[in-house]
Chain A
Amino acid sequence: MRRTVPLTLAATLLAGALAACQGGGEESSTAAFDPATCQGGTLSVLNQGGITHLDPARLYTSGGGNIPSLLFRTLTTRNRLPGEAGTKPAPDLATDLGTPSDGAKTWTYHLRDDIFFEDGTPITAADVKYGIERSFAPELPGGAPYLRDWLVGAAGYQGPYKQPDGLAAIETPDPKTIIFKLRKPEGDFPFLATATQFAPVPQAKDKGVDYENHPVSSGPYMVAAYEKKKSLSLVRNPHWTKASDTLRYACPDKIEVTSGLDAAVINQRISTGAGPDAYAVTTDAVVGPEQLAQLGSGSELDKRVARGEFPSTIYLAFNTKKKPFDDLKVRQALSYAINRTSVVNALGGSAVAGPSTTFLPPQAALGYQPYDYFPAGETGNPAKAKELLGAAGLSIELAHENDDANGLGPKVAAAVQDAFKQAGITVTLTAIDSATYRDVTGKPATQPALSLQSWGADWPSGGPFLIPIFDGRQIITAGGNFNLAQYNDPAVNAEIDAINALTDPAAAAKRWGRLDAKIGELALVVPLTHEKDVYLYGKSVKNAVPDGWRGTYDLARVSVK
């Protein structure tokens, strides 16, 4: 396991690079893709899930999201490069990544001069401030939780509708400068600034809950028509200029998003590519077995597949305050018993999921350090598990979601159940509605002793992975808790604070990796798999290169000409 892991990492990077070569096919061989001349055509996006909300205050995205990033420019955004280089932020509305001061407790940004809304009004710092403030309103729930925790005095803030004075922690001394005052040093602030909450919203045009019917765009496209969960039509924003935005190419003239389609149908349509489907892509339908059967055999489909990896881990979460998981031996036994191959198969095979023995997924930007303290091999080590448990065996309950859409459903649960059966552990499965799964597992009072969980990188750093899960101060007893292990070690908390103060991502990554390796010895979780993203794109789509941050191609960079 230890020897193959660096190979896996290399293979991933190689695959990413190869995909980059293939994806931009013409780019390397015939140089037919040129961002300067790619304008024109209509891109069709076929998705399963609908866009329920188009309000920047309510969206919870990583790196600004794919479709939202077409409408909402943020202070910083992901740099959209493939591979390892893509895990860093780049300035978007701001002129640079921000200037930290006061030990990274204060961050100052200067906005560009050449940025405008879709109606021609210039974007000012006050607009960015208002956009962040309205995300606190209870009428607009959703979005990342960090702002409430990081900004000074934001914990009780109710939003500008109830408290028009706003947040004192955000200062705008002039229309092009914005300053953030934080409670603690946060070296990762430029990463957080990629969140959609940092998109500017003009206060004069705010309609509260109805704002999302036509949000004011700061990006290369604006909304022409929007039917929630069904379709979204985007046309060019006349006041966006290429000179002001080097990261987005905005090649297609129009983008048509259709939602509510079945994943198998989406992949079959893109694969067949009839009519407008030749210009089709998808942002949420990973390839299925029918396409996988054709890939790798030199078929035409091989030229139209984008492979990347979004840092995300699926794992088993123990509640170490509930029997029998307060006993380290039991947790170790389960770690030995798990059969990762059947979990991988339940998720769709080795093309779309890889076995994980570490909590941090295998991306270098997160500081990944390989470890495997409880070697289960590919199919589990039931003998060792039995040895640890003794003759009595064990009877436990496993909670899971009631549908397979998020990979935490009955299929994976059945795989885990079968693996544990071989080790003499009887597992009863408890299905919980996926709509309320997080609520039930996030309330320590109702939290099941063992549950399937997944965690994705809010940004590619070890911090957003380890802190909500293992920082004892993040345990919230009333609900919304992610530290399901109920783990609280002051030494670990202190180390977290120390790493947060670092502003050099490379140095921070190393220490996050070491922290993960240290926590791993306690078997507070059983990591199962990490995510691999394999997406098809249409025959006539060019430059569909997966970026290193999100693992999939960027709609702002693909072309249909």
Chain B
Amino acid sequence: MRVLHDRGFTVGAAIALVMVTVAVAAPLLTAWEGQDPTTFHNDLLDSARGGVPIGPLGGISGDHWLGVEPGTGRDLFARVVFGARVSLGVAVSATVLQVLIGVGVGVAAGLGGRHLDAGLSRLVDLVLAFPILVLAIALLAIVPPSWPRPVLLAVVIAMLGWGGTARITRGETLTLRARDYVAAARVSGAGPLRVARREILPGLASPVLTYAAFVLPTNMITEAGLSFLGVGVRPPTPSWGQMLSTATTWFRADPLYVAVPGGLLFATLLAFVLVANGVRRVLDPRQRTEVLR
């Protein structure tokens, strides 16, 4: 495949694959290490100094491969490995939802009459303008606590994120619609749904896939941001964003606690961006579609 010639793509894909494997195999990995992400180990902390891990490099040892978390003594390796599940799971599901909603709305706006288009475009404006924090906190308050948080997060991110996809789709649909074969199909009596399915959607595949590939890391960043602000998964479930939000207190006393989740988050994101870049090179080399943040 052409894409494999792109070195960036292969490196990125390899790292991404490793991260996904780690996330999926989290329980196995932690069992191998012999720890779990929730047990406290107070004996490994120096209480008089605020709860820093005893020993250099955050308490790395044969039992704790990446040391322990300050303040609680929980195994850091286990926590980041389970944290990968949250980050990747939420990001992937949010992206899928977003694409589904965005394409649906975008095609409808592009194919529909002027009023439908205007109405849907204003809806897109509304969605783009709404502050995600407000929605996230408000929904978390309304929804009963028995609902799994990661699902809720994915829904919130998708609910406010489909705007970009819709705009891209609308733009592409309008362009495609002006093409001759589409006009021919409509003249021959095909209904809008049929036109959408047979003529428009295939043409959308490239730009939408390209866009979606870039949106995945963006969603991961949004989830990390929400966790950073304290609106993420419920403790004791670990999350990279949450670990980073406590990092400001610890970056001098225990820099590993910052470096490990931060480095992993960055590496995962970079991997997905490299993959997306590779995809774009193949599918949309003229960079017609603007990747809106």
Direct chain A–B contact by Cβ atoms under 8 Å: yes
Binding site for B on A (CB under 8 A): 262-265, 288-290, 292-293, 296, 339, 341-342, 344-346, 348-352, 379, 402-403, 410-411, 413-415, 417-419, 421, 429-431, 433
Q: B72 contacts A345, CB within 8 Å?
A: yes
**For residue B248, which residues in chain A have a CB less than 8 angstroms away from its CB?**
262, 264-265
Q: B249 contacts A288, CB within 8 Å?
A: yes
A528 to B: closest C-beta gap in Å:
14
Q: A293 contacts B252, CB within 8 Å?
A: yes
- The yes or no answer to B175 lying at the interface (CB within 8 A) is no
**For residue A352, which residues in chain B have a CB less than 8 angstroms away from its CB?**
50
Q: B47 contacts A350, CB within 8 Å?
A: yes
Considering the chains assembled together, what is the distance between the CA atoms of A421 and B145 in angstroms? 21
Q: A342 contacts B50, CB within 8 Å?
A: no
A292-B49, A351-B48, A418-B38 known; A413 and B235 CB under 8 Å? Answer: yes
Partner of B51 from A263, A349, A403, A418 at Cβ < 8 Å: A349
A349-B50, A414-B72 known; A290 and B252 CB under 8 Å? Answer: yes
**For residue A403, which residues in chain B have a CB less than 8 angstroms away from its CB?**
230
**For residue B230, which residues in chain A have a CB less than 8 angstroms away from its CB?**
402-403
B74 to A: closest C-beta gap in Å:
9
Partner of A346 from B46, B49, B72, B141 at Cβ < 8 Å: B72
In the complex, residue of chain B having the shortest beta-carbon distance to the beta carbon of A290: B252
Q: 1/0 per position for B140-157, CB-CB distance to A under 8 A?
A: 010001000000000000
Partner of B49 from A289, A341, A379, A410 at Cβ < 8 Å: A289
In the complex, residue of chain B having the shortest beta-carbon distance to the beta carbon of A344: B47
**For residue A429, which residues in chain B have a CB less than 8 angstroms away from its CB?**
234-236
Q: 1/0 per position for B56-86, CB-CB distance to A under 8 A?
A: 0000000000000011110000000000000
List 11 additional contacts besides A264-B248, A289-B250, A342-B73; criterion CB under 8 Å. A289-B51, A293-B49, A341-B47, A346-B72, A348-B51, A348-B71, A349-B47, A349-B49, A411-B235, A414-B236, A418-B40
**For residue A410, which residues in chain B have a CB less than 8 angstroms away from its CB?**
234-235
Interface extent on B, as a size class?
20 to 34
- 8 interchain pairs (CB within 8 A)? A288-B249, A290-B250, A290-B253, A293-B50, A345-B40, A349-B48, A351-B48, A418-B39
Considering the chains assembled together, what is the distance between the CA atoms of A348 and B249 in angstroms? 11
Considering the chains assembled together, what is the distance between the CA atoms of A417 and B47 in angstroms? 19
Q: Which B residues from 74 to 116 make CB contacts under 8 A with A?
A: none
Considering the chains assembled together, what is the distance between the CA atoms of A348 and B49 in angstroms? 8
Considering the chains assembled together, what is the distance between the CA atoms of A372 and B45 in angstroms? 25
Q: 1/0 per position for B234-263, CB-CB distance to A under 8 A?
A: 111000000000001110111000000000
Considering the chains assembled together, what is the distance between the CA atoms of A402 and B229 in angstroms? 12
A264-B248, A288-B50 known; A415 and B72 CB under 8 Å? Answer: yes
**For residue B50, which residues in chain A have a CB less than 8 angstroms away from its CB?**
288-289, 292-293, 348-349, 351-352
**For residue B26, which residues in chain A have a CB less than 8 angstroms away from its CB?**
none
**For residue B141, which residues in chain A have a CB less than 8 angstroms away from its CB?**
433
- The yes or no answer to B208 lying at the interface (CB within 8 A) is no
- The yes or no answer to B42 lying at the interface (CB within 8 A) is yes
Considering the chains assembled together, what is the distance between the CA atoms of A350 and B52 in angstroms? 11
**For residue B70, which residues in chain A have a CB less than 8 angstroms away from its CB?**
289
**For residue B249, which residues in chain A have a CB less than 8 angstroms away from its CB?**
263-264, 288-290
Considering the chains assembled together, what is the distance between the CA atoms of A262 and B246 in angstroms? 12
In the complex, residue of chain A having the shortest beta-carbon distance to the beta carbon of B252: A290
B140 to A: closest C-beta gap in Å:
9
Q: A342 contacts B49, CB within 8 Å?
A: no
Considering the chains assembled together, what is the distance between the CA atoms of A339 and B73 in angstroms? 13
Query: Would you list the 7 A-B pairs with minimal beta carbon distance, nearest first?
Result: A289-B50, A349-B50, A292-B50, A350-B47, A410-B235, A345-B51, A289-B253
A371 to B: closest C-beta gap in Å:
24
In the complex, residue of chain A having the shortest beta-carbon distance to the beta carbon of B48: A350
Q: A411 contacts B48, CB within 8 Å?
A: no
Q: A339 contacts B42, CB within 8 Å?
A: yes
**For residue B234, which residues in chain A have a CB less than 8 angstroms away from its CB?**
410, 429, 431
